[in-house]
Structure 1
Amino acid sequence: MSTDTTARPEPGTATGALLSARDLRVVFPGRRGAPPARAVDGVDLDIGAGEIVALVGESGCGKTTLARSLLGLVRPTSGTVAFDGRPLAYSSGALKSYRKRAQLVLQDPSGSLNPRHTVYDAVAEGLRIHGYAGDERAAVAEALARAGLRPPERFFLRYPHELSGGQRQRVVIAGALVLEPELIVADEPVASLDASVRGEILALLLRLRDELGLSALVVTHDLGLAWNIADRVAVMYLGRVVETGPVESVLTNPRHPYTRALLSVLPESEGTPVVLTGEPPDPSRIPSGCRFHARCQVLASGAAEAVADRCRGEDLPVLPGGGAGAVACHWVGREKAD
């Protein structure tokens, strides 16, 4: 297993986690008598100071709900979220203060920006909400410049429809940066952008980490993106993290069958792509045992027959939130024991 991380810093090791979640659960009531949906079903997750963590998984696995609960936008059913060592409080005043330190960057910049607001007003909105008492014009200009829109004054009076997709995403990032947060949660930050622009936005996020010490949780379905930007990766399936660790370790030597399947369909992957069969994740119908067992290619092939009963009937523990790699899989556990 490759664990060489010399090309990357070791963020968060001195001061501990900036943001941490413990046994986080978010349950939504079912509609018209349907069972409740366990969107997040027991997650531990740490993000260190100056660290970029990629949260990866298929659509419907719960990663966006998890991200919103970490920001206080969705109140967890149980479990705790702590920021800078203090449990998150849910009063309006406490949340307002917290969201100055932790900002959300949404997937679609066209939907994030009011078409009737200029770029200046879009970026200045956060300052006005939080009662900023300094030089608003200078703060907006600095945020736009940091987001790569230079000279910033040239963009002040433009409207979103006058910008390219990459420029709109930079405006959204500038709107988050203007409050000088310590953490950004970016939900599919480049999914709606052309391939030629994706690299520019990813390079921007890395530069912001290096220059400002910014921490980030990047929510994505793209393991290739995780490889290019993250220090650590957490792979999520049906409400729970099933594999986690340093990005080089997880993506060069994946252990969980689900992670292997996700990696197998990348263009640069060798071998035959794994086509997952069975029903896609349904948070209102979480199976007993390993939640992936009904779609597991290893179990279906017979290779995991020795642990098949455990796969179908024995639940797996919540993985630790940070540090060394970990995997929730009975088959991998047996291989390691052997």
Structure 2
Amino acid sequence: MSASALLSVQGVRVDFPGRRGAPVARAVDGVDLDIRRGEIVALVGESGCGKTTLARALLGLVEPTAGRVVFDGRPLRYSGRSLKAYRRRVQLVLQDPSGSLNPRHTVYDAVAEGLRVHGHGGDERAAVAEALSRAGLRPPERFFLRHPHELSGGQRQRVVIAGALVLEPELLVADEPVASLDASVRGEILALLLRLRAELGLSALVVTHDLGLAWNIADRVAVMYLGRIVETGAVERVLTAPRHPYTQALLSVLPEAPGEPVILAGEPPDPSRVPSGCRFHARCHILAGGEADRAGVSQACRGRDPEILDGSGAAQVACHWAHAVTG
């Protein structure tokens, strides 16, 4: 764990037992990831790659099968008291505000809920008003008695963010925070997250399948495939000069991407049947097109698992071909 890291995921593995004797599904398969104070990290990948399970592990909602989560220098403990204290400092922002807000609760009660759970001893009304104001709902008193159905989608997402901010956390974990919003509102919510980082020094992990979102909000990106991070580094470096074939394929389908999109063969493999060698090799256009063979690494791609990337944030890639052609 680097000295400046607020949160460090160290060798985390999360297994889920199969039903009726089926093989164990390894949703997260050895991940190191640091998040520094004041840093926004985007965790990107296709649905089913393990990114939400990893987010749940670092929130303490899933206990890792192996490895550990370290926050502010201390390993996360899974007792009720320890988790309650931890979750005051690390807050979740869900992708669907309609699903995460109780339709019977007023905005005031929705935001105050965290204060009541954690036994806030101060002025509740002032804390709720400040959180709503920070989330861009002003004047806050105008929203106190409204219900979720009376708000727009963007306003509901701001209420969810206010509910996280009211506890004055140090880290936000945002799972697809703008996926359910109209394009016109997405930019406003992303701008809000950036402003909160600037004003409050918040760190954030943004879980998304959208590389365009990562480009607009993140300092650093970690690309995940089949339970493991396969490329990481500063967002500008990874998204302008991707080295892993999987990252290249994800970027190629963006509307502004040059050239033809890379169409990946098949679906992501079953996490209970991780392929030998590089876990991406069965879908890899570099291997299928003969480029890995010309670089002399095709056998390694099929038979040798690349090393796990460390969590330092330096530019790294888990790809035999990328190392062969770029050194």
Question: What is the TM-score when the length of structure 2 is the normalising length?
Answer: 0.98
Q: Which of residues 284, 308, 312 in structure 1 aligns to 2:302?
A: 312
Structure 2 residue 52 is the aligned partner of structure 1 residue 52: no
Whole-angstrom distance in 2 between the partners of 1:145 and 1:281:
45
Cα distance, 1:308 vs. partner? 1.1
Cα distance, 1:209 vs. partner? 0.2
Structure 2 residue 13 is the aligned partner of structure 1 residue 33: no
Whole-angstrom distance in 1 between the partners of 2:209 and 2:5:
24
Other structure's SS at 1:132 match: coil
Once the two structures are superposed, what CA deviation does each residue of 1:154-204 show, in whole Å capped at 9, x if it has no partner?
A: 000000011000000000000000000000000000000000000000000
- Give the corresponding residue for 1:254: 242
Q: Which of residues 211, 231, 243 in structure 2 aligns to 1:223?
A: 211
Tell me the C-alpha RMSD between the 2 structures: 1.1
Whole-angstrom distance in 2 between the partners of 1:107 and 1:309:
41
- Give the counterpart letter for 1:50 in structure 2: G
Query: More deviation in 236-245 or 274-283?
Result: 274-283
- Give the counterpart letter for 1:327 in structure 2: V
Contact 2:226–2:268, Cα closer than 8 Å, also in 1? no
Q: Which of residues 215, 221, 231 in structure 2 aligns to 1:233?
A: 221
- Give the counterpart letter for 2:6 in structure 1: L
Cα distance, 1:34 vs. partner? 1.6
Cα distance, 1:271 vs. partner? 0.3
- Give the corresponding residue for 1:6: none
- Give the corresponding residue for 1:120: 108
- Give the corresponding residue for 1:291: 279
- Give the corresponding residue for 1:333: 323
Whole-angstrom distance in 1 between the partners of 2:209 and 2:301:
25
- Give the corresponding residue for 2:201: 213
Other structure's SS at 1:68 match: helix
Cα distance, 1:322 vs. partner? 2.4
Whole-angstrom distance in 2 between the partners of 1:80 and 1:126:
26
**Deviating runs (4+, > 6 A) in structure 1?**
none
- Give the corresponding residue for 1:22: 10
Contact 1:57–1:235, Cα closer than 8 Å, also in 2? yes
Whole-angstrom distance in 2 between the partners of 1:230 and 1:253:
16
Gaps of 5+ in 2: none
Other structure's SS at 1:304 match: helix
Other structure's SS at 1:32 match: helix
- Give the counterpart letter for 1:318 in structure 2: I
Other structure's SS at 1:251 match: helix
- Give the corresponding residue for 1:67: 55
Other structure's SS at 1:153 match: helix
Structure 2 residue 81 is the aligned partner of structure 1 residue 93: yes
Work out the percentage of aligned pairs sharing the same amino acid.
Answer: 80
Whole-angstrom distance in 2 between the partners of 1:102 and 1:190:
19
Cα distance, 1:282 vs. partner? 1.7
- Give the counterpart letter for 1:301 in structure 2: G
Contact 1:60–1:282, Cα closer than 8 Å, also in 2? no
